[in-house]
Amino acid sequence: MIGAGIDAGSRALKVALFDSERGQVLAAAVRDQGTDHDGPARELFEELLRTEGLPRRRVARIVATGYGRRAVSCADTTVTEITCHAVGVRHCVPDAATIVEIGGQDSKLLRLNRDGTVRDFAMNDRCAAGTGRFLEVVASRLGAALDSLGDLARAAEAPAPISSMCVVFAETEIIGLLASGARREDIVAGVQASIASRVAAMLGRDVTSPVIFTGGVALVPGMAEALASALATPVRVCPEPQMTGALGAALIACRQASASA
In tens, the pLDDT along 222-259 reads: 899 999 999 999 999 999 999 999 999 999 999 999 99
Same domain, 181 and 124: yes
**Better pLDDT: 249 or 204:** 249
At 156, the pLDDT band (50, 70, 90 cuts) reads confident
Same domain, 125 and 114: yes
Same domain, 196 and 212: yes
**Better pLDDT: 80 or 156:** 80
pLDDT at 127: 56
Same domain, 30 and 156: no
Least confident of 59-63, 113-117, 171-175, 247-251: 171-175
**Residue 168 pLDDT exceeds 70:** no
CB atoms < 10 A from the CB of 58, how many? 15
Here the CATH number for the domain that contains residue 12 is 3.30.420.40
pLDDT mean over 73-98: 97
Same domain, 86 and 138: no
Q: Which residues, in sequence order, are bridge partners of residue 214?
A: 101
The structural domain count of the chain equals 2
pLDDT mean over 169-188: 86
Residue numbers of the domain that contains 161 = 95-238
